[in-house]
Amino acid sequence: MRAARGGARRSEGSGVVAAFTRSGSLQRGYRTEDVDDYFANAKVLYQEEDLPQELEAERIRTVAFPLVRGGYRVVEVDQALERLERACWQRERASVVSREGTDAWLERAYTSAATLYLRLGRPRGERFRPPARGRGYSRTEVDDLLDRLARYFDGSAELISDEIVAASFTLKSRSRSYDPAVVDVYLDRAISVLQAVE
């Protein structure tokens, strides 16, 4: 999970709800009612013939739950969301491939990848705007990750989607940072592109 993602983010894949451990009365975790409601709804939606928009990988990736004392352990819920996201992504890919063929799926991936190139070509320190106020993601750390992504597209480095999912960035002052919301949207697209070809 990336640091400073709005609120808190992120049972079980294939629509099966998992039991989560509570964080304890002195620690914060995700509010249990919200998590239970989300996964109960996801279980029902997963059973539908066509995967609904609520279960698109990009939407699952941006789910947020309030942090409260005694809530569900963040790590467990995040892992369950990642499994659900992967299961829905695989189902979506299988659906497109069965209806339109592998070439159609890959064409979508290449089209999405092309939208990433413009920022990769910008100079370090200028790839995203700074936050409107407050702190943001370290420019240096974000640029390091984008340099790896550029090398991946050039064929000179290996990179998998899970590495981007797990990326975290130090919060820096406005003058040394990028706007987290803009970076997150971009990285979510990059994750989708990498998942499409994995």
The string of pLDDT tens digits covering residues 144-193 is 999 999 999 999 999 999 899 889 999 999 999 999 989 998 998 899 88
What are the pLDDT digits (tens) for 12-50?
334 444 589 998 888 999 999 999 999 999 999 999 988
7: left (phi over 0), alpha (psi -120 to 50) or beta: left
Residue type, 42: A
Torsion sign across C-alpha atoms 164, 165, 169, 174: positive
Q: Cite the beta strand spans of the chain per DSSP E.
A: 28-30, 67-69, 136-138, 171-172, 177-178
The pTM for the full model equals: 0.68
Domain positions in the chain are 13-100, 114-197
- DSSP label of 69: E
The H or E element that residue 140 is part of is helix 139-154
